[in-house]
Amino acid sequence: MDKRVLVRGVVAKALGFAGVFWAMGAFLFPVTAQPVPAKVENIPHLVTFGNKAETSWGDDDFCNIFFFIVPKSYQGPFYIRVYDPDIGGEIDEINVVFDTKTEFSVYGGEGCWTDDIDPTGTFKNGTLLAKKVFGLSPEYDQKWYTFGPFNPTEGEYAEEFQGYIFKIIALGVDGDDGNLYNYFLSSSATQNLPIEGGDAFTYEYGFRLWNDTVNISHIYPYVDNRVVSIKQTNFDWDDDGEIRTVTVARLYQLNKVSGEDEWAESEFKIKEKEKNTSFDFQFIKRKNPMVRNNNVVISVRNQYGELLPFHTVPIGGVPKFQYGAAAKPIRKKH
């Protein structure tokens, strides 16, 4: 059984009648996780800078790693498409002149996920399936480049996701400009056609915020039942507005926010109700003066120091604070 269906089932049971309707929503309104960032995240673009950039531009390590899950029920070829893979023209962030190169590489096989969960590790484990370096190239400006076709079984099989995992790494290999881009997991080489049950996740999320104060971006770490406490880390938030944590048991909580080229950390204990749910980190920009071109890097670790995954579509759905939940005593297990 699909893990998120299982999770929904458990949560629905806990919520009773209302929860059953909420859980049914998964089947009535299937969500697609294939655009990365996903619609529910409301993030304009991912961002990776060239390795000669100052980290004050908002990228701590010039690397973004995403994992895609192709469900075992899907047997056709599939593609990983990259929007605006070039560094130049529209969308991208210039530093004097565009002179940056980004290497996109796709991995499958044993270890592509299980050996590379921490972005400070080697991160190129697994079998290299495809690679391409992009620079200033108008032919890819605001266009899609397609990696593939790939066969799902070329991925690393993960029982817990009932699917095959693939990894794509965006690495700044030269220059000092910002490459902004998006991904799509597609069943077509020429269009964005979602794969039913497909999913994507990352452990360290490097992205661009909107250049307006109306849009709120979100990311959704999944907190499983082993998690006792988490540490949320943000890099180069530039003293923009607020980073809020919303959960089933928190109306909202403010996180410590970072300034220019620095890290900030907030640690908090997980409540019983929050186990096996997704958290909603909300990025609410300051209205005046507005911070433009704000790039930020976010990660979350549990009490063991393990990174928690951000699924582009939250497992169990977007968490909503449940009024009255906080007033109920927590039943202790003996």
Q: Is 37 in the site for Ca ion (CB under 5 A)?
A: no
Binder to Ca ion among 89, 125, 231, 290 (CB under 5 A)? 89
The 3-state secondary structure of 94-156 reads CCCCCCCEEEEEEEECCCCCCCCCCCCCCCCCCEEEEEEEECCCHHHCCCEEEEEEECHHHCE
Is cis: bond before 194, omega within 30 of 0?
no
Asked if 168 and 113 touch (Cβ cutoff 8 Å), the reply is no
Q: Is 86 in the site for Ca ion (CB under 5 A)?
A: yes
Asked if 205 and 29 touch (Cβ cutoff 8 Å), the reply is no
Given the rule CB under 5 A, which of 91-99, 124-132, 160-168, 265-273 is the region that contacts Ca ion? 91-99
Q: Is 295 in the site for Ca ion (CB under 5 A)?
A: yes
Residues between 211 and 250 that touch Ca ion (CB under 5 A): 236, 238
Which CB atom, from 51 or from 187, has the smaller least distance to Ca ion? 51
Q: Nearest-CA neighbor of 282 among 321, 306, 253?
A: 253
Asked if 194 and 69 touch (Cβ cutoff 8 Å), the reply is no
Given the rule CB under 5 A, which of 17-25, 61-69, 85-93, 311-319 is the region that contacts Ca ion? 85-93
Binder to Ca ion among 5, 40, 55, 95 (CB under 5 A)? 95
The CB density around residue 177, as the number of other CB atoms within 10 Å, is 27
Total binding residues toward Ca ion, as defined by CB under 5 A:
19
Which CB atom, from 238 or from 274, has the smaller least distance to Ca ion? 238
Q: Is 141 in the site for Ca ion (CB under 5 A)?
A: yes
Shortest Cβ contact with Ca ion: which residue?
Answer: 58
Q: Is 66 in the site for Ca ion (CB under 5 A)?
A: no
Which CB atom, from 85 or from 221, has the smaller least distance to Ca ion? 85
Name every residue whose Cβ is closer than 8 Å to that of residue 7 and which is 6 or more positions away in sequence.
276, 315, 316
Binder to Ca ion among 61, 116, 154, 176 (CB under 5 A)? 176
CB of 50 to Ca ion, least distance (A): 7
Binder to Ca ion among 91, 168, 169, 230 (CB under 5 A)? 91
CB of 294 to Ca ion, least distance (A): 4
CB of 212 to Ca ion, least distance (A): 16
Q: Is 59 in the site for Ca ion (CB under 5 A)?
A: no
The interaxial angle of helices 17-28 and 3-15, nearest 10 deg, is: 150
CB of 91 to Ca ion, least distance (A): 4
Q: Is 181 in the site for Ca ion (CB under 5 A)?
A: yes
- Phi, psi angles (nearest 5°) of residue 96: 70, -75
Q: Is 195 in the site for Ca ion (CB under 5 A)?
A: no
Q: Is 294 in the site for Ca ion (CB under 5 A)?
A: yes
Helix (H, G, I), strand (E, B) or coil at 259: coil
Q: Is 93 in the site for Ca ion (CB under 5 A)?
A: no
- Phi, psi angles (nearest 5°) of residue 4: -70, -30
CA dihedral 302, 255, 324, 39 (to 10 degrees): -80
Q: Is 179 in the site for Ca ion (CB under 5 A)?
A: yes
Tokens 């900030």 — which residue? 264
Asked if 40 and 318 touch (Cβ cutoff 8 Å), the reply is yes
Q: Is 276 in the site for Ca ion (CB under 5 A)?
A: no
CB of 87 to Ca ion, least distance (A): 6
CB of 124 to Ca ion, least distance (A): 22
User: For the residues of 144-206, what is the DSSP string, one character each?
Assistant: EEEEEEE-GGGSEEEGGGTEEEEEEEEEEEE-SPEEEEEEEEES-SSS--PPTT-EEEESEEE
Binder to Ca ion among 177, 204, 274, 280 (CB under 5 A)? 177
d(Cα 60, Cα 263) in Å, to the nearest integer?
Answer: 10
Interface with Ca ion (CB under 5 A): 58, 84, 86, 89, 91-92, 95-96, 99, 141, 176-177, 179-181, 236, 238, 294-295
